[in-house]
Structure 1
Amino acid sequence: MNDNSTGGWYAAENATFGDRLAAAREAAGMTQQQLAKRLGVKAGTLRGWEDDLSEPRANRLQMLSGLLGVSLPWLLMGQGDDVSAPDESGELPRDLTDMLTELRNLRSDLVAKADRLAVLEKRLRAKLKEDS
């Protein structure tokens, strides 16, 4: 599978969505349980995505992209450079890794809060429309 002449390790013809999701999660230093918790899904749901038994909805795809620090086109189709192939990634100093992890966590928290805000706004608009 490590044939870069056919478009790279994680290109669409070499890897599935689940392969890229698992690689991005591992590169982010998260377990399936940790990522599932951050996304607000069950670990079994995430496992199903990684095993290509099911696919996430669009809102979860965007959250995955932001949380894992990869582009949506890469996650879906393997287009672009976001995660190094196995045995090609360089180790970063621990303090930089910690900062990157904290940034990812903050970004995912912001995405989750924005989603909650949108739901609340929709409910408020419906209630105002109902009352008028």
Structure 2
Amino acid sequence: MSENNNSGSDWYSEESATFGDRVAGAREALGMTQTELAKRLGVKLQTVRGWEEDISEPRANKLQMMAGVLNVSMMWLLNGHGDGLDGPVEDVTLSGDIRAVLTEVRQVKSEMSRLSDRLGVLEKRLRHALKEHA
């Protein structure tokens, strides 16, 4: 694990990976299962799954504990900056077509995350408007 300065791999950067991707990556790098992480943090397995699938996010105290257990910084978990993983070592050389598809997959995943956040905001506005209308 090292300082991620974006000079090397951007595998876990904010543009390429989600919070859940970084949690799963750090956990797997330690050879830890989701069940083991849940036990170490004192949460249910479903809670860890929710974090890794970007369905929910931990509270600040659990985020701090998680960073310690996974041996990464809280900032790296949140946005990919700081002490964390550089990304997997690529033993194989990927063709340009494969790299292009992987890049596009990461971009679509990032866009989906942004759209999901936007949808949440719109749902809140709609609920608020419906309450006022009733």
**Structure 1 residue aligned with 2:34:** 32
**What is the deviation of 1:7?**
7.1
State the alpha-carbon separation in 2 of the partners of residues 60 and 7 from structure 1. Answer: 28
TM-score by length of 1: 0.60
State the alpha-carbon separation in 1 of the partners of residues 86 and 34 from structure 2. Answer: 19
State the alpha-carbon separation in 2 of the partners of residues 87 and 54 from structure 1. Answer: 29
Trace 1:47-86 onto structure 2 (pairs within 5 A).
Answer: 47-86=49-88
Question: Stretches of 4+ moved more than 3 A in 1?
Answer: 4-7
For the 8 Å contact 2:8–2:86, the answer to whether it is kept is: no
Q: Which amino acid aligns with 2:26?
A: A
- CA, structure 1 residues 5+66, in 2 after alignment: closer, same or farther (shift >3 Å)? closer
State the alpha-carbon separation in 2 of the partners of residues 6 and 29 from structure 1. Answer: 23
Percent identity, please: 65
Trace 1:1-132 onto structure 2 (pairs within 5 A).
Answer: 8-87=10-89
State the alpha-carbon separation in 2 of the partners of residues 67 and 8 from structure 1. Answer: 23
More strand by share: 2
Q: In structure 2, the residue corresponding to 1:65 is in which secondary structure? A: helix
**What is the deviation of 1:5?**
7.8
Structure 1 portions without partners, runs of 5+ = 89-132
Of structures 1 and 2, the one with the larger relative CO (CA 8 A, separation 6+) is 2
State the alpha-carbon separation in 1 of the partners of residues 66 and 79 from structure 2. Answer: 14
Deviations 1:48-98 (A, max 9, x none): 00000000000000000001000111110000342131235xxxxxxxxxx
Q: Which amino acid aligns with 1:48?
A: G
Cα RMSD over matched residues? 2.2
Structure 2 portions without partners, runs of 5+ = 1-5, 91-134
TM-score by length of 2: 0.59
Q: Which amino acid aligns with 2:63?
A: L
**What is the deviation of 1:38?**
0.6
State the alpha-carbon separation in 1 of the partners of residues 13 and 53 from structure 2. Answer: 17
Q: Which amino acid aligns with 2:10?
A: G
Q: Which amino acid aligns with 1:16?
A: T
